[in-house]
Structures are given as C-alpha cells and as structure tokens.
C-alpha cells in the first residue's frame, strides 16, 4: 500500500510540475523568453552584417592592391630580361590563363617566349609498369640526344635531363634555335605520350618558368609522394640545364601535398629552384621576373604568401642590372 501511494504521489507531482510550467510559459515567462530570443536573433543578424561589411572592405582592398600591382608591373619589369629567352612548362592541373599572364609579363620584361609545352599525367604516373616504360625510354632516348644524366641516375633524373636537353641551354649564344638533338628529344617524348606541345617545337631557351596546379590529391600517400618526387626532380633537372628556373603556382600549391610545397621541403632542390606561390595575385608577375634575375646571378629563393615562403618578393634588382 505504501508503494502504491508513493508512486501515486510521484505521478501527481510530475503532472503538477508540468501544469505549473505550462502556466508560467504561457504567462509571466512567455514575454521574457520571447524577448530574449528576439534580442539574440537581432544580435546574430547584426554580427552577420558586420562580418559581411568587413569582408567586402577586405575584398575591395585586395582588388585595389591587385589593380595597383598590375598598373606598376610594366614599369617595374620593363626590359629587365632583354636579350633572354623563356620557355613555359605546364604540369597537369596548371591553368592556361595563368600561363597566358606569365607569357605577357615575360614579353613586357623584354624576353623572347620560345614556346609552351605541357607534361601529361603519364610523366609522373607511379604505376610500376609506367615507371618501367619511362626507364626503358630514357635508356634508349638519352644517349641519342646527348643527355647529361649518368646511366646510373634514377628514372626521374634521366627523364628530366632529356626534357632539359629538348628545351634548355645555359648560354645566350646557343639559344633561340632548334638543334637535331633538341628536336629529337621533344619528338621522342611527344610520341611516348609524355608531353604535348602548343604550336611548333620550342626553340632552346636560357630561362624556364614551370607552372603548376593545386595540391596533388585523390591518391594514396605513397603514390602522392612518388608523384611529387617526380615533379620535384624534373624541376631540378630543368634548372641544371638553364641559367634560371622558377616554379610558379597557386597559393594551395605551397601546401605539403603541392609541388611547390615539395620543392620547399627539400633543401637541396630549394637551394637551386626558385618558387612563387601566389599566381592568383598580380604581384606574382614581377616576383617571377625578379626571381629569374636572381637565378641568373646564381641565387634562388621562395616567394609569395604561402607555406615556406621567405618573402613576398625577391630582392628588387638595381637599375643597373
């Protein structure tokens, strides 16, 4: 009997509590709760409006800075690369519009742009069968074109050296022409499906700008590391054949899984190859020109606003340079 009364009292208490809550909610507390919610919603709307205003202001400032950089670039880079020749190498994922902007800047700087080639994904495919194919190709094609790579060098080094043989020279006196070996090197790589060429075969150049895309994704860690190593070694080999080499890409390419990130993480390669990581901004254009000038004088550096950049711009060249 005690248990039944205990349960009955408990149930009655619960219902009484619910009734009191309903009465209070519908009466004295209703206005207070409603006002509190209204105030919170109003505050959130104001916060959103403030953030939108801040974002619009920052976007306007960024656009203004970009316009300024674009306006002063011709004055900054004019004739800096006079007498030099440049070739552009595009990696998979690189945007043609970015390459077009770089081409225009190179011409403004007085350089002759000798052409543009694109490396296909097959160039760095980590599949063992594809690696074996490149190994066999480099063993056959390397000696024919006078590759400077050692016969005991890695597949990546030998392939990069063949590409450099088809595109690069270090002496201005040897530039702006096509040799039998350079033509054979590019022809062999093209027939193998490793490169495509926009227009006629590029003439030999003393400078190279390699344009990269965003991070390397959608593959296992091992495959990604192998792919990044291939691109990194290729950039290094192009640099060895030239008098100046710069790798340029979007900000995201400076991440550890990006090509620029891989270059910057390798001290030996970073000491040779310069990088610019903010090609989405107009200020990257003079940075590429100044980085090439620094390369021509034997230096290198990592520039932009991304991971591993040591400065926004390379040291400004003197008027006498």
Q: pLDDT per residue over 80-96, tens digit each?
A: 999 899 999 999 999 99
pLDDT at 171 exceeding the cut of 80: yes
Instruction: Indicate the range of 14-28, 130-144, 275-289 predicted with least confidence.
Output: 14-28
Full-model pTM: 0.82
pLDDT band at residue 316 under the 50/70/90 scheme: confident
- Alpha-carbon distance of 222 to 288, in angstroms, equals 31
Helix 180-191, helix 155-167: angle, nearest 10: 130
- Alpha-carbon distance of 184 to 145, in angstroms, equals 7
Place of tokens 């003439």: 203
First to last CA, the chain: 106
> Residue 47 CB: number of other CB atoms within 10 A?
10
Interstrand relation of 302-303 and 112-119 (parallel, antiparallel or unpaired): unpaired
Helix 128-145, helix 155-167: angle, nearest 10: 40
Token digits for 321? Answer: 């340079």
């Amino acid at each position: 009997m005690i248990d039944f009364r205990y349960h009955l009292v408990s149930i009655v208490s619960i219902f009484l509590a619910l009734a009191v809550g309903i009465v209070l909610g519908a009466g004295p507390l209703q206005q207070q709760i409603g006002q509190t919610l209204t105030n919170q919603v109003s505050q959130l709307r104001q916060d959103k409006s403030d953030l939108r205003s801040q974002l619009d202001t920052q976007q306007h400032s960024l656009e203004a800075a970009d316009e300024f950089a674009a306006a002063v670039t011709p004055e900054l880079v004019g004739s800096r690369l006079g007498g030099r020749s440049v070739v552009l190498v595009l990696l998979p994922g690189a945007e043609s519009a970015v390459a077009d902007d770089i081409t225009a800047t190179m011409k403004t700087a007085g350089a002759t742009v000798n052409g543009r080639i694109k490396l296909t994904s097959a160039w760095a495919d980590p599949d063992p069968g594809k690696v074996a194919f490149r190994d066999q190709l480099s063993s056959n094609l390397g000696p024919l074109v006078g590759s400077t790579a050692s016969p005991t060098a890695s597949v990546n080094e030998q392939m990069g050296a063949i590409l450099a043989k088809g595109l690069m020279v270090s002496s201005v006196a040897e530039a702006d022409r096509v040799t039998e070996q350079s033509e054979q090197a590019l022809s062999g790589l093209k027939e193998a499906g490793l490169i495509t060429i926009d227009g006629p075969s590029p003439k030999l150049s003393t400078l190279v700008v390699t344009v990269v895309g965003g991070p390397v994704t959608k593959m296992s860690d091992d495959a990604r590391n192998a792919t990044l190593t291939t691109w990194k070694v290729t950039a290094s080999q192009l640099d060895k054949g030239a008098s100046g080499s710069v790798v340029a890409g979007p900000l995201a390419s400076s991440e550890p899984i990006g090509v620029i990130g891989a270059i910057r993480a390798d001290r030996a390669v970073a000491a040779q190859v310069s990088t610019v990581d903010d090609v989405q901004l107009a200020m990257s254009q003079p940075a590429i020109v100044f980085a090439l000038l620094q390369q021509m004088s034997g230096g290198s550096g990592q520039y932009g606003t991304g991971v591993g950049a040591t400065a926004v711009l390379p040291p400004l060249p003197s008027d006498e340079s």
